[in-house]
Chain A
Amino acid sequence: MDFMKRFSLNYGAVIGLLILTLIILMAITAPLLFPGNPWKTVAMPLLRPMQDPSYILGTDMLGRDIAAGIAHGAKVSLLIGVVSTLVAVLIGVTIGALAGFYGGLVDDLLMRFTEFFQIIPAFAMAVVLVAIFSPSFISITLAIAVVSWPSVARLVRAEFLSLRQREFVQAAVVIGQSGPRIILTQILPNAVSPIIVTASLMVATAILTESALSFLGLGDRNTMSWGFMIGAARTMLREAWWMSFFPGLAILLAVLAINLIGEGINDVMNPHLRGRKN
C-alpha cells in the first residue's frame, strides 16, 4: 500500500516501530525469558549491572532482578497506555462528534462540560482520582482516560465542524441519510487520521502519567511497572543508580518510539507535507 511505502521512507518512524516491536516482544515473552514472579528475591541485593552475568541489569535492594522487572513491567506500561487511550478516544470521539455535528445547544453544553475537565490540571486530577478510588490497574487506567479525553473531544469536534461543511456531507444529507449514519459512515472515516495521530501520542503521555503516578506512590501495588521501579528506586538514586536508570530508559525508549511512530503517521497522513519530503 501507498501508506506503507511512504511510512517506510520515514526513518524516524521505522526506528520507532522497531523499538516498539522489541518492547512488545519483550512484554509477550517476559514469562518465558524471566519465568516466575518478578517480585521474588533471586539474588544478593544491590548487585551492580554485569556484576553477575545472570543478572545483567543488576538487582535491587531486595535482590530482585531488574531485567525481569523491566520485562514484566513492559506489559503494564503498554497496557495502561493503550487501554486508557482507547477509553479516552472512545469518550472523546463520542462527545466531539456529537458536539461538532449537531452544533448549537448540544455543542455548547458538551463543550462547557469539556471545559470543566480541561480547566483542572490533568495530572492533579489524575492524582486525586487515583488516590480517591485507591490505586489499581483499573482506577489508574480510568483516571488517565478521564483526564485525557478532552483533547480528543476538541480535536474531533474541530474536525467535525469543518467536515460537516464539506460538500460530500451535505450530499449525504441531501440524499436522505440519517444523522448517526452520516456521522459514522461519512464523517468519522475522514477524521480518522488525525485521531490516530493524537491517539498514538496519547499512549506515550499515558505511559508517562502512569510512571509519574507510580513515582508519587500511586501505582498498582500488585503489578510490576516501570514507574513503580523508578519510584521505589528514587531514594537510592545515589547508592544504586542502575535501579532507576534502566526503567527510566525503558520509559524513555517506549515513549520515544511511540512518538516517532505518531509523527511518522502524521507526516504520511498530513497532505500539507506530502511531496515535500524526499
Chain B
Amino acid sequence: MIILFYIAAIVAVISTLCVILQSNIVHALIYLILSLLAVAVIFYVLGAPFAAMLEAIVYAGAIMVLFLFVIMMLNLGKISTDQERSWMKSSGWVAPGIMAAILLAQLLNVLGDYEYDLVPVEVGVMEVSTLLFGPYVLAVELASILLLAGLVSAYHLAKK
C-alpha cells in the first residue's frame, strides 16, 4: 500500500507538471485527468474510498468532460497550439516561478518539522454520510444552493 502512495504521488506531480508545460490543450487535459486519477488513488490509500470514487466520478468524469466539451465547441485546433507555444516562450515564467518557489519553500519549511506517522484507517461511506446529514447538513444545503446558482448562471452566460 505504501509503495502505491509514492507511485501515485510521482505520477500526480509529473502529470501536473505536464499540464502547466503543455501547449496542446487536449493533451494537457488528458494529463490533468491522469493527475486527478492519481490523486484518487492517494485518497484510497489514505483510507477515504468514498472521496476517491467521488474524485473519479465528479472531478475526472464530469468536470473534465465539461472542459473537453467547451474545447470541442470552441474548436481550438492547431492554430491555438502554435499561439500557445509563442505565448509560452516569453520570460513571464521567471517571476511566477520565483513566487511559487518561495511559497513552496515556506510550506516545506513549516511542514518539515511536523512529524507524525499516520496509519491509514478506512473511513467508509456510512461515517461520511452520517456526518453530512447530521452536523453538516447546513453545508449540504449551502452546496446545493451553490450548485443551483452555478447552474442558473452558467445557463444565463452561455446562452446566445
A, B assembled together:
no
